Amino acid sequence: MSRHAHLTTVIGLLFLAACHPAHDVDSNTADSEIRFVASDAIKQSGFPLSNLVEADGWLFLSGNLGIVPGQGLIPGGIGPETQQTMENIEGLLAAEGLGMDSIVKCTVMLADMAEWSAFDEVYKTFFEDNYPARSAFGASGLAANARVEVECIARR
């Protein structure tokens, strides 16, 4: 067999292997549990979201703002908002029996990227030595006229 024919055969076999699952999939493997957690405040607000959704030990937290429950957005700008936002995330995880060290990824939305360093000063106080992977972007508008919104993915 020529080198070209051999390479073509190998590529074809790799393609077939990639198209087929490594294990048989049947109705019994669909045992994945998905759990939706929505606070009473979220339910009463009528907002179409859950505070978090858990799927197979992965927790997907909706975007959190610096809202004090029952009072609205905390005044004072990026510093106090970041503090309250991270406390809200910490509270959601604590209710699940988890700590901030269970977070593997955060996405940060800032109303003004010039406030990045002020955000970071507060954010880093919520973690020990290991920080989650993180992305950030500037947004032209956040809910409740907030300065910051943070969503996270955690692992049980």
CB 51 within 8 A of CB 61: yes
Structure tokens of 7? 């390479």
At the fourth CATH level, the homologous superfamily of domain 31-155 is RutC-like (3.30.1330.40)
Backbone angles phi, psi at 153, to 5 degrees: -120, 130
Between residues 88 and 21, which one has the greater pLDDT? 88
Q: What pLDDT does residue 69 have?
A: 86
Q: Residue 12's pLDDT band (boundaries 50, 70, 90)? A: very low
Tell me, what amino acid is at 97? G
Pair type for strands 103-110 and 133-138:
parallel
Q: Domain ranges in the chain?
A: 31-155
Distance CA 68, CA 84 (A): 7
Distance CA 148, CA 138 (A): 9
Predicted TM-score of the model (pTM): 0.80
C-alpha 80 chain-centroid distance: 21
* For range 121-146, the mean pLDDT: 96
